[in-house]
Structure 1
């Protein structure tokens, strides 16, 4: 796009997210991506809890992006932040909830996307034998996906991160169980140690590019996106409104122009199994 072409764009990361973000942005927006030197995103919070994240994921991503832009004296930046835990609606499943924020100070733009994915190996447990540890790490894609071991002994803060070899796994396990019978193990969710998460960030970047390319019909500002959803998709049998999405409302962040787009999921009726009347 012309307003971004040739401009430098800073990627606020210390965990190699540029490996999936930069190629997509450079190919689609013609920007020149770079990573700030010695930029420590851990100061805003760590997955292992040594530094508590004080704000929600989106606020943290925004803060991270603005800090990188200020540090590198760049008016165009991008940052991501993820959270892991139970899916908000499918409670028995874990989810990767990624926010990606794109900020352009020159044109006063802030474009945000969210990718909520069931595709994650997020897991954690307390184990008491090396065989139990082996069984768990095999299920989370080790050694391609790293794991973290923590001592469970009182007042022992020993943590071994980024374990990606069987040798280091066994050595760390025996070291942590010297004075204690149990060890806490969890997947290392830092992007450079978790290829599954990296793919979700890549998918979020593709979604971001689509939103950036979506121009306001009135003023042509990038980022014309969904700000609200309306339910009421009619039941295929009885015709009464269901709770399923009937339309999306788009809004421009520059001129506030709004547009409602009907049937965003290419469905004009809903399956009766989701109707409160036909399937009470």
Structure 2
């Protein structure tokens, strides 16, 4: 059977991602099934279980948990990477992958956003409950959840905390002389609606890629994979880091094509020679 017509997928998840993904795939005509497996064994946001491998490698490993468990031709999973940058600016990068069981071909969609709730504060033994709660003003409790984590991971994290009272109780239960604790957003998908929106965007990107066929073999997943730098400065005509071409690739046959971008010159303000 051609991969074009194999619109049957099993999502491997432990945290309710099907609520976001299933409606999109079913609306596109896919048969969509969900397999609950302990994906936390591949890494947790608390850090109690270290993620080993890149986000793409972990997402593929999650999807492969469906091997031998599902008869669907496609297996699906996702992996998120959340971090806080300068001035506390949050960043979420979500990958959603389809793995074709018979061939091992991987098609991945992605999305990035700064519009996610992400807080994290370290609390010392001398930090009062009032000081701690004052530092959690942006936690959006009630819609989002928090977790208490030991920075040495000597005791399991306590998550799914929805009220300030639950946070205070968990902090007191985990406190011990010399133990450093951190209160942070519980980023598991079913507990973070702002992350859910990014997962939805990545899922839409994946479906868009599956609707794009390779001009050589007609396999689904023909997509932009990288860019070629070297667009020239409008003033000095030297190459810059701005892209001069897009690279489109096929996950099935390996076809690769460069698509040249418009040749207008780069603003000299972005030129490393004119504006070092």
Task: Give the TM-score range, shorter chain.
Answer: 0.7 to 0.9
Distance in 2, Cα, partners of 1:170 & 1:199: 29
Residue 144 of structure 1 corresponds to which residue in structure 2? Answer: 143
Deviation (angstroms), 1:172: 2.5
Q: Note the residue ranges of structure 1 that are not aligned, 5 or more in a row.
A: none
- Cross-structure match for 1:46: 44
1:143/1:166 contact within 8 Å kept:
no
- C-alpha distance in 2 between matches for 1:63 and 1:158: 24
Contact 1:97–1:116 (CA under 8 A) maintained in structure 2: yes
TM-score (norm 1): 0.85
Correspondent of 2:255 among 244, 254, 257: 257
Alignment of 1:28-47 (within 5 A): 28=28, 30-36=29-35, 38-47=36-45
Q: 1:151 to 1:101 in 2, by over 3 A?
A: closer
Contact 2:48 2:157 in 1 (8 A): no
**2:96 aligned with 1:97:** no
Structure 2 CA distance for partners of 1:182 and 1:105, relative to 1, 3 Å: closer
**2:119–2:138 contact (8 Å) kept in structure 1:** no
CA offsets, 1:132-189, max 9 Å, x none? 322232213223111101357x896153211012332233234344767964211111
Give the superposition deviation at 1:225. Answer: 1.8
Q: Is the 8 A contact 2:147 2:167 kept in 1?
A: no
Counterpart-to-counterpart distance in 1, 2:130 and 2:269: 45
Q: Cα distance 1:23–1:269, how it changes in 2: closer, same or farther (>3 A)? A: farther
Q: Distance in 1 between matches of 2:45 and 2:39?
A: 11
- Partner residue, 1:205: 203
The root-mean-square deviation of aligned C-alpha atoms, in Å, is 2.8
Looking at structure 1, the residues matched to 146 and 188 of structure 2 have their Cα atoms a distance apart, in angstroms, of 10
Which residue in the other structure is 1:237 paired with? 235
The match for 1:111 among 107, 125, 132 is 107
Give how far 1:247 is off: 0.9
Aligned residues: 272
For the pair 1:268 / 2:264, whether they are aligned, the reply is yes
User: Does 1:167 pair with 2:171?
Assistant: no
Output one character per residue of 1:37-63: Cα deviation in whole Å (capped at 9) or x when no partner: x41111222221222222222111111
Q: Does the CA contact (< 8 Å) of 1:6 and 1:32 recur in 2?
A: no
CA–CA separation in structure 2 for the residues paired with 1:92 and 1:207: 27
Deviations 1:97-145 (A, max 9, x none): 2222111235653212333333333332212122232223221322311
TM-score by length of 2: 0.86
The unaligned stretches of length 5 or more in structure 2 are: none
> Is structure 2 residue 22 aligned with structure 1 residue 18?
no
Contact 2:145 2:185 in 1 (8 A): yes
Q: CA separation in 1, counterparts of 2:205 and 2:58?
A: 20
Whole-Å Cα distance in 1 between the matches of residues 264 and 209 of structure 2? Answer: 24
Secondary structure of residue in 2 paired with 1:12: strand
2:225 paired residue number = 227
1:169-224 deviation digits (Å, cap 9, x = unpaired): 23323434476796421111111111111111111111111111111112211111
Cα separation, partners in 2 of 1:178 and 1:53, compared to 1, 3 Å:
closer
